[in-house]
Amino acid sequence: MDTKKRKLITLDEFTIQETRKFPHATGELSSLLRDIALACKIINKQVNKAGLVDILGKHGATNVQGEEQMKLDIFANETLINVLQNSAECAGIASEENDDFVAFDDVFSFNSKYVVLFDPLDGSSNIDVNASIGTIFSIYRRVSPMGAPCTAEDFLQPGNKLMAAGYVIYGSSTMLVYATKIGVNGFTLESSIGEFCLSHPNLKCPEKGRIYSVNQGNTCKYDQGVKDFLNYCMDKNGKDDGEPLSLRYIGSMVADLHRTLIKGGIFFYPADQKNKSGKLRLQYECNPMALIMEAAGGIADFGAGRILDIIPTELHQRTPIYIGSKELVSKSLSFVAENSIA
């Protein structure tokens, strides 16, 4: 059956169709995305059961079947590692939950082209309150020679070398959004067939937005430039409609970024007087979101340049981030650049 005549297009069908546009593409990236999607479907199932932990047994305790309950972020981490180790395309992984990267130690993986970095469960403090959480992933082509284990330099590439990146949001519905440099597409999990299906083709972040998203409780710790920008957000002067902007903050980057991507606005996690690099992690959170946002026509900056151009020196390094609609992020940068901590 011709997929063009059918309404539902699965993630797999979509990525294969995209690959065909490039005569030399081998389909390995599509296959890797399918593996990541599989891991996320397994995580999704466990996330949906999170509300039952009190009945089935607390995390760390033993449930009625006598099985050990695992914390969701550990479960998510182990699921991704396990699925990717079985994948034909992945040479190794780095995870927010592991101190060091893992080079898969088998001959198949020695000949795999890609490495994957991930934040297995983002927004984990929201699990107990049933708010949206997510998984964030990045895919680099390895730079180390094939035929041997992958090495640290494969994982320390700047974001501008990303082949693809994406996130899964476990929300009122479960969605996978992924980007290559050419564009961003969103897929919603259709649970009756267990497949992510194309629901948000060619996503673009609105150029203007009226929502700002930040942990405003930290204002006393921010430098003057950030405080000035916050005052701009709260002020009705200087706005087209004479109204202040709206504040929305979930505290789960995936959820805050997903809203920012669809509705426009800005999400920022600045440096402060104590944490000169902010809180969010470059390789697991900021780079993948920056690739997605730029491919959707938005901006992602650390206050003095593109996130994607930062050369990582360590796996778990942090960076401030200002990300979202072109107009509002540019506005924030004009305040921040004027008066930064450094």
Interface residues with ligand AHG (CB under 6 A)? 96, 119, 122-124, 215, 251-253, 279
Least distance to ligand AHG from the beta carbon of 5, Å?
A: 41
Position with the least CB separation from Mn ion: 122
Strand ranges of the sheet holding 102-103, from the earlier edge strand across to the other edge: 102-103, 90-95, 114-122, 133-141, 162-170, 174-180, 183-190, 195-200
C-beta closer to ligand AHG: residue 30 or 132? 132
Pick from Mn ion, ligand AHG, none: which does 171 bind, CB < 5 to 8 A by kind? none
Residues 155/149, Cβ–Cβ less than 8 Å: no
The answer for residues whose C-beta is within 8 angstroms of residue 251's C-beta and 6 or more apart is 123, 125, 126, 131, 215
Tell the smallest beta-carbon distance from residue 176 to ligand AHG (Å).
17
Nearer residue to ligand AHG within complex by CB, 84 or 255: 255
Helix, strand and coil in the chain, % to nearest 5 = 40, 25, 40
In whole angstroms, the minimum distance from the beta carbon of 121 to Mn ion comes to 5
CB of 29 to ligand AHG, least distance (A): 25
Decide if 33 contacts 42 (C-beta within 8 A). no
Which of Mn ion, ligand AHG, none is residue 279 near (CB under 5 to 8 Å by kind)?
ligand AHG
Least distance in angstroms from the C-beta of 3 to Mn ion: 35
The binder of 251, among ligand AHG, Mn ion, none, by C-beta within 5 to 8 A per type, is ligand AHG
Cβ proximity to Mn ion, 119 vs 195, nearer residue = 119
- Quick one: 31 or 320, whose CB is closer to ligand AHG? 320
Least Å from the CB of residue 218 to ligand AHG: 7
Q: Using CB under 5 A as the criterion, which residues of the chain lie in contact with Mn ion when the complex forms? A: 96, 119, 121-122
The span from the CA of 65 to the CA of 86, in Å, is: 28
The whole-angstrom separation of Cα 222 and Cα 82 is 41
Partner touching 151 among Mn ion, ligand AHG, none, CB below 5 to 8 Å by kind: none
| DSSP assigned state of 306 | B
Give whichever of 280 and 310 is closer to Mn ion, judged by the CB atom.
280
* Separation CA 307–CA 286 (nearest Å): 7
Considering CB distances under 5 to 8 angstroms, the limit depending on partner class, which of Mn ion, ligand AHG, none binds residue 63?
A: none
Q: Which residues of 75-84 are buried (b: 16+ CB within 10 A; e: fewer)?
A: bbbebbbebb
User: Nearest distance from residue 205's CB to Mn ion, in Å?
Assistant: 20
Nearer to ligand AHG, 62 or 125 (CB): 125
- Pick the closest to residue 220 from 279, 272, 269 (CA basis): 272
Q: How far is the CB of 257 from ligand AHG (least distance, A)?
A: 8
Residues facing 138 on adjacent strands: 117, 165
DSSP string, 248-292: ---S-HHHHHHHHHHH--EEEE---SS-TT-SSBIIIIIHHHHHH
Q: At what angle do helices 326-338 and 224-234 cross, to 10 degrees?
A: 140
